[in-house]
Amino acid sequence: MEVKPDWKNSILNVSATLADYIGVKSNIAKIDILKNELNKNYKNVIYICMDGLGMFPLEQNLPKSSILRENVKKTITSVFPSTTTNATSSLYSATYPSQHGLFGWSLYFEKLNSCVDIYIGQNSYTREPVDMSTIEDYLTFETYFSKSKIPAYTVFPDFTKYLQTSTKNFNFSTVEEAFDVLKEIVKINEKKFVYCYLSEPDATMHNYGTASKEAKDIIKTINKLTEELANQSTDTLIVVTPDHGQTDITSYIPLYEDKELMSTLKTPMFLEPRATGMFVKKECEEKFLKAMKKYENKIELLKTTDLIKDNFFGPKTDKLEMLGDYIAVVKNDYEHILFKEDSIRFKGHHTGLTKKEMILPLIMISKQRS
């Protein structure tokens, strides 16, 4: 285990600080350096989540002189599991993982007797559509910017229509379009807050790896577009964080092939490939632990109750029961677990506790009044 979520210095605390600025109060710790900058009363405050752009891919792909790197004010942590569903839900809602409960890409729902890919509404194993209305109550949470006391705009990719919580929502299909929208919003003559989510460079790094030409190209493009936005703005604070980092994957652990291990599980494996949730049959726990011992050089087996006790997810809630009995966290930063034979073999991934996945930049670009 390398990096634990720091609940005084994480992406959750960034959202709590931004929420406080727009009049949505909470008792979650604020980040002083961001709070002090917000106190300068900018006309435009723009927050951009650049999915996956942790310190590791940032430093690999951009020079120190780039606008994104030269404006890193401090490092912060992601949440655990360090994955988009969990992390962006904390970013959107300014609540702990234990409060929103969207811990991973795949969650097991007893009422459906199946694992569900919650963001795309399909069975994690058969890939058949799932009637999401049956679990709608579990998946619903309130975004903090929907309660803003000042005008709030949202800028999201086309595929995130479920997050259109405001009449001032704009959708886009490319990163270039996203920045075009941001430039237009800045021109509107009112004090405002803007929340923008980019699915890049995470999507590209999944397919090609963090150091690939494709990753470098998209990160350089995002940096250039950020610089253009800053140069065309005045009286504006641009705040950037990712939701998590990413690491390169070159090896895979096919747990689905281990018949002894599979026979001890009460449900299929779920959560994520580098932080895998497991419900264990009570009568098989000893056999389960013996089966998992074969992987001790590759996998750290963590009891969920211990993680809850150590405050990995925030305050205790009923939603923590969704995490299973154990979470298998991959130790090496170059491997991930395969749930089944046709599991996607990503070239870049995240969800674990390594520095590459957990350590993130807090970037602040200030354009003062002209």
Query: pLDDT digits over 173-226, tens only?
Result: 999 999 999 999 999 999 999 999 999 999 999 999 999 999 999 999 999 999
Query: What are the pLDDT digits (tens) for 116-148?
Result: 999 889 999 999 999 999 998 898 889 999 999
How many CA atoms lie within 13 Å of 341's alpha carbon, on the beta-carbon side?
Answer: 1
Q: Answer yes or no: is 124 within a domain.
A: no
Contact 279, 328 (CB under 8 A): no
Q: Per the domain annotation, does 121 fall within a domain?
A: no
Domain that holds residue 91: 11-101+142-245+354-367
User: Residue 346 pLDDT > 90, yes or no?
Assistant: yes
- Domain assignment present for 341: yes
Report pLDDT for 370: 60
Q: How many domains is the chain built from?
A: 2
Residues 339 and 260 in one domain: yes
Q: Distance from CA of residue 303 to its chain's centroid?
A: 22
- Same domain (yes/no): 175, 84: yes
Residue 160 has pLDDT above 80, yes or no: no
pLDDT of residue 1: 60
Name 229's Cβ contacts closer than 8 Å, sequence gap at least 6.
46, 179, 182, 183, 186, 238
pLDDT tens digits for range 48-82: 999 999 999 999 999 999 999 999 999 999 999 99
Torsion of CA 305, 360, 3, 262, to 10 degrees: 50
Q: Whole-angstrom Cα distance, residue 150 to residue 258?
A: 55
Report the CATH number that the domain containing residue 317 is assigned in CATH.
3.30.1360.180
What pTM was estimated for this model as a whole? 0.96
Q: What is the CA radius of gyration of the chain?
A: 20
Query: Are residues 230 and 178 both part of a single domain?
Result: yes
Structure tokens at 64: 């120190």
